[in-house]
Amino acid sequence: NAGVTQTPKFRILKIGQSMTLQCTQDMNHNYMYWYRQDPGMGLKLIYYSVGAGITDKGEVPNGYNVSRSTTEDFPLRLELAAPSQTSVYFCASSYSTHTGELFFGEGSRLTVL
């Protein structure tokens, strides 16, 4: 199993550009999440999904969109990139709500200039 795979690992964007961060998991997990982590800070939840076709907002959803057309994939779309979106983005998945074990990807480091 590859676990949770994120691409790209690094990206530089210009202000106003758009891009999609890809996330895929091969563990057949129903639940998937996107977090962002700013330097020296904890992780903040952007969006989450409890299954294919179902998504909902987390703490900091503004400026982002998600979709969940399959169990495996949960892409995060940045529209009109802003310097405030410079961050490291982590995708995670989980099978069971009870055990609480989130499996994280390696992260995608995004810089907006």
User: What residues make contact with another protein under the rule CB under 8 A?
Assistant: 4, 30-31, 33, 35, 40-45, 48-50, 56, 58-59, 88, 90, 92, 94, 97-107, 109
Q: Which residues contact 55 (CB under 8 A, 6 or more apart)?
A: 47, 48, 49, 66, 67, 68
Identify residue 23 by its one-letter amino acid code: C
Q: Return all residues near 5 (Cβ < 8 A) that are at least 6 apart.
A: 23, 24, 25, 26, 105
What is the SS3 assignment for 62-90? CCEEECCCCCCECCEEECCCCHHHCEEEE
Tokens at residue 94, please?
A: 């989980």
For another protein, give the closer residue by CB, 11 or 109. 109
**Residue 59 C-beta: closest distance to another protein, Å:** 7
Q: Which is nearer to another protein, 2 or 40 (CB)?
A: 40
Shortest distance (Å) from residue 76 CB to another protein: 15
Q: What's the closest the beta carbon of residue 72 comes to another protein, in angstroms?
A: 16
Least separation in angstroms between CB 40 and another protein: 8
Residue with smaller CB distance to another protein, 31 or 64: 31
